[in-house]
Amino acid sequence: MKQYCCSQCCKSFSSKSVLCHHMNIHTSKYKCTECGKCCQSSSALAEHRRSHSGEKPFECTVCSKRFTQLGNLATHSRIHSGDKPYKCYVCDKAFSRYSHLTSHMRVHTGDKPYKCSLCNKSFSHLGYLQRHKRRIHSNRRPYQCPFCGKMFKTNIDVKYHVRIHTDTKPHSCRHCSGRFMWPVQLKRHLLESHNEGTWLVCDICQKKFVSSQHLNEHVRRHKGEKPYVCSDCPMRFCGAGVLKSHQLVHSDVKRFGCILCDKSFKYKGSVVKHFERCASKLSDSEMLPIF
């Protein structure tokens, strides 16, 4: 719980001493003339100004990557050394950055300080909130697949999608020769074939799940909770995937195309059914090869 709040910027802190240290930023005489940021010392101000000039005097001796601040170089160097000085006192998990430890502690405290202004869903990390807004509440798709031209909302979505074209299976089983495209597939394989890991069980009906995402969505169905709201109509849903499918109703985009003709469809199931009918109309001599 962060109960000490800064009266200048509304940022919260866990202790009064940390708040007092933070307040020096607002009263500091070392102020950047370009962006107005206040620093606690002249050296800190000099380091900050490098972010505007692009000057990076500190170079990593291993990979030659350059940095504007010596502290950033020191943090980066832990990638090569494997040093993780910040350890969680609850589970002993260690981290190379203090900010990563701070974020990890929310797993134990349950703190979710970042709330979506559109659907009120809360998140433990700012990155999770930003990704949620892009995927659920935005129709903008700036990232394109180089193989099929399909558009995506995030770069990571394109990265995962490309595996379908390349048949890349980066997740391998340590017990057998099995390889998988997605981590959840490997996790299910380990549970079913090698009895490794722990099933996530619904407290209400005892149904088993591999991922917490699927379990949480399942529990919402029991409770009747529907936190995912369509931005185009009043309909609500218990899962992001169901909402994503529903939003196609409001879109004119037809992302699924038949490889045998020029017809396109909104839904994957529709193009599968169409393809079966389309293929049956072609003779064996006319049939195109399918890979």
106, part of any domain: no
Closest CA to 30 of 11, 9, 44: 44
Q: How confident is the model at residue 26 (pLDDT cuts 50, 70, 90)?
A: low
If residue 223 lies in a helix (H) or strand (E), which one and from where to where?
helix 212-223
What's the rounded mean pLDDT across residues 4-10?
70
What's the rounded mean pLDDT across residues 18-47?
74
- Say if residues 162 and 169 touch (Cβ distance below 8 Å): no
Higher pLDDT, 17 or 90: 90
Summarize pLDDT for 217-251 with one digit per residue, the tens. 999 999 999 888 887 888 998 888 888 788 878 87
Instruction: Please indicate, yes or no, whether residues 145 and 47 belong to a single structural domain of this protein.
Output: no
Instruction: Please indicate, yes or no, whether residues 240 and 263 belong to a single structural domain of this protein.
Output: no
278, part of any domain: yes
Q: Residue 66 and residue 158: Cα distance in Å, rounded?
A: 29
Go through 239-268 and write b for each residue having 16 or more CB atoms within 10 A of its CB, e for each that does not. bbeebeebbeeeeeeebbbbebeeeebbee
Higher pLDDT, 93 or 201: 201
220, part of any domain: yes
91, part of any domain: no
44, part of any domain: yes
Ranking 31-35, 44-48, 254-258 by mean pLDDT, the lowest is: 254-258
Closest CA to 218 of 192, 200, 198: 200
Residue 284: pLDDT above 80? Answer: no
What's the rounded mean pLDDT across residues 193-197?
92
Q: How confident is the model at residue 10 (pLDDT cuts 50, 70, 90)?
A: low
Which CATH number do you get for residue 25?
3.30.160
Instruction: Please indicate, yes or no, whether residues 246 and 269 belong to a single structural domain of this protein.
Output: no
**pLDDT computed for residue 290 by the predictor:** 46
**Within a 10 A sphere around the Cβ of 147, how many other Cβ atoms?**
11
Instruction: Please indicate, yes or no, whether residues 291 and 211 belong to a single structural domain of this protein.
Output: no
Residue 25: pLDDT above 70? Answer: no
Instruction: Please indicate, yes or no, whether residues 202 and 235 belong to a single structural domain of this protein.
Output: yes
Cα–Cα separations (whole angstroms), residue 285 to 256, 274, 281: 25, 20, 12
264, part of any domain: yes
Instruction: Please indicate, yes or no, whether residues 227 and 275 belong to a single structural domain of this protein.
Output: no
- Say if residues 13 and 6 touch (Cβ distance below 8 Å): yes
Which CATH number do you get for residue 219?
3.30.160.60
**Residue 226: domain span:** 141-250
Q: How confident is the model at residue 283 (pLDDT cuts 50, 70, 90)?
A: very low
Q: What is the CA radius of gyration of the chain?
A: 25
Q: How far is CA 252 from the centre of its chain?
A: 27
Q: How confident is the model at residue 50 (pLDDT cuts 50, 70, 90)?
A: confident
Percent of the chain at pLDDT > 70 equals 91
Q: Residue 32 and residue 50: Cα distance in Å, rounded?
A: 11
Strand partners for 151: 144
Residue 88: pLDDT above 60? Answer: yes
Closest CA to 170 of 162, 181, 184, 159: 181
Summarize pLDDT for 248-274 with one digit per residue, the tens. 788 776 767 776 777 878 777 787 788
Instruction: Please indicate, yes or no, whether residues 145 and 238 belong to a single structural domain of this protein.
Output: yes
Instruction: Please indicate, yes or no, whether residues 242 and 279 belong to a single structural domain of this protein.
Output: no
Helical H segments across 54-136, by residue range: 70-81, 98-109, 126-132
8, part of any domain: yes
Instruction: Please indicate, yes or no, whether residues 154 and 223 belong to a single structural domain of this protein.
Output: yes
Summarize pLDDT for 154-194 with one digit per residue, the tens. 888 888 888 888 888 888 999 999 999 888 999 999 999 99
Summarize pLDDT for 53-73 with one digit per residue, the tens. 778 888 988 888 888 888 888
**pLDDT computed for residue 224 by the predictor:** 92
CA count, 13 A, side-chain hemisphere, 76: 16
What's the rounded mean pLDDT across residues 83-102?
87
Instruction: Please indicate, yes or no, whether residues 170 and 218 belong to a single structural domain of this protein.
Output: yes
**pLDDT computed for residue 22 by the predictor:** 72
Instruction: Please indicate, yes or no, whether residues 261 and 172 belong to a single structural domain of this protein.
Output: no
**pLDDT computed for residue 97 by the predictor:** 87
Q: For residue 246, which amino acid is it? A: H
Instruction: Please indicate, yes or no, whether residues 274 and 225 belong to a single structural domain of this protein.
Output: no
- Domain count along the chain: 3
